[in-house]
Structure 1
Amino acid sequence: MTDTANPAPTGPDAGATFYHGTRSDLKTGDLLVAGWKGNFQAQALSWIYFSAALESAIWGCELAKGPPGDETARERIYIVEPTGDWFDDPNLTDKKFPGNPTRSYRSRAPLRIVGEVETWEPHAPEVLAQMKANLAKLKAEGKDVIID
C-alpha cells in the first residue's frame, strides 16, 4: 500500500546504491546534512552531494578536506540513502558532463548512512596530483564556482 502522507523520495537513479566520499568519521544511522563547507569552496552549501557511481565517491573522499584540526583524516566512502527528493548536480551535468555520466546528485534533505565501502581502489598518486593541480588552477582563475 502506498503511503500518500509520506511518499518515498524520488530522483534520478531511484533504487540505485548511492555513495558519499568524505574524511569525516561517521557511523551507520548518522545523517549527512547540507549547511557545511564543501570540499572545493569556503562557503557553506545548501545542498548535500552524492553519487550512484563509486568512482565519483572515490574522487570525493580523495579531494575532501579533513575535519578542522585533522586534515589527514582517513578517506571514507559511505553508502547513503536520500531522505528527500534529489536532483542532478548542475555543477557536473550541465556543460562539463552532459547526460550525467558521473551519476552525481544533490539534495536539500539529509542522507542517511546505511553502510561503508570498506575497500576500494584509490587513484594513482600522479593522477590525484594532476586533479589537485587542475582544481588549484581553476581557483587561481576564479573559475571554481559552485552552483548552489
Structure 2
Amino acid sequence: MHKEKSIESTNDQDQVIYYHGTKADLKPGDLIEPGYNSNYGTRKQASYVYLTATLDAATWGAELALGDGQGRIYLVDPTGPFEDDPNLTDKKFPGNPTKSYRTKHPLHVTGEVSNWRGHSPEVLKAMKDHLEELKRKGIEAIED
C-alpha cells in the first residue's frame, strides 16, 4: 500500500511546484487524465497520470515520451490525492529523491516551462538503451 500525499497547504510558502513532462500539445486549463495509452511498456491504457516536484524528472518525461512532437514540460496542479510513484521509489530510490508521484485524478495544466534544457545526447541514448533492455526482459511499469 502506498501512502497518499495531501495536496492541501496552510501556508503559501509550503506550496510545491509540480511538473508533467510529455509530448502532448496542451494549454493552460487543460486536464491530463488517466485512460490514455501509456508512454512505456506495451502501451496499455494507463491507470494513473504522473507528476513530479523536480524539473529533472519532468525533463525525462518530456524526452522519453512516445510520439513525434516536441517534448514539453507543463506546470500542473493535482486535483486529488497522489502517492509515490512505485516505478521510481521503494527499492530503486528509497525515500523518493526524484519526488515522483502518480494519481488517478486529473492534473490541471496551469502553464508551461519554456526554458528547460534536455539531457546530453549521450545520456539520453544511455537511458533509451536501458529502457529497451528492460522491455526485452519483459519488465513493465507498475500500474497496480
Q: Fold conserved (TM > 0.5)?
A: yes
Q: Which residue pairs with 2:131 in the alignment?
A: 135
Cα contact 2:29–2:110 (8 A) shared by 1: yes
Alignment correspondent of 1:21: 21
Taking the aligned partners of 1:36 and 1:12, their CA distance within structure 2 comes to: 27
| Cα distance change on mapping 1:12 and 1:92 into 2, 3 Å | farther
Aligned counterparts, 1:47-126, within 5 A? 47-66=48-67, 72-126=68-122
1:79 to partner: Cα distance = 0.2
Identify the residue that residue 144 of structure 1 maps to in structure 2. 140
CA distance in 2, matches of 1:12, 1:143: 35
- Give me the whole-angstrom Cα distance separating, in 1, the residues matched to 2:100 and 2:8: 9
Q: Give the SS at the match of 1:90.
A: coil
* Contact map agreement 1:17 1:52 (CA 8 A) in 2: yes
Secondary structure of the residue that 2:56 maps to in structure 1?
Answer: helix
Output the aligned Cα RMSD: 1.8
Q: Deviations over 1:116-140 (max 9, x none)?
A: 0001111000110000000000110
Contact 1:92/1:100, CA 8 A, preserved across alignment: yes
The runs of 5 or more residues in structure 2 that have no matched partner are none
**Which whole-Å CA distance do the structure 1 matches of 2:85 and 2:109 have between them?**
20
Instruction: Evaluate the alpha carbon distance shift between residue 46 and residue 11 of structure 1 in structure 2; reply closer, same or farther with a 3 A threshold.
Output: same
- Conserved in 2, the CA contact under 8 Å of 1:20 and 1:80? yes
Matched, 1:45 2:46: yes
Q: TM-score with structure 2 length normalisation?
A: 0.88
Question: Deviation at 1:143?
Answer: 1.7
Partner AA of 2:24 in structure 1: S
Aligned length: 135
Query: 1:4 — aligned with what?
Result: none
Alignment partners' CA distance in 2, 1:12 and 1:121: 30
Contact 2:46 2:143 in 1 (8 A): no
CA–CA distance in 2 between the matches of 1:96 and 1:82?
Answer: 25
Amino acid at match of 1:57: A
Alpha-carbon distance in structure 1 between the residues aligned to 2:140 and 2:104: 21
**TM-score under structure 1 normalisation?**
0.86
What one-letter code is carried by the residue in structure 1 that aligns with 2:81? D
Runs (5+) with no aligned partner, structure 1: 1-8, 67-71
Does the 8 A contact of 1:11 with 1:87 survive in 2?
no
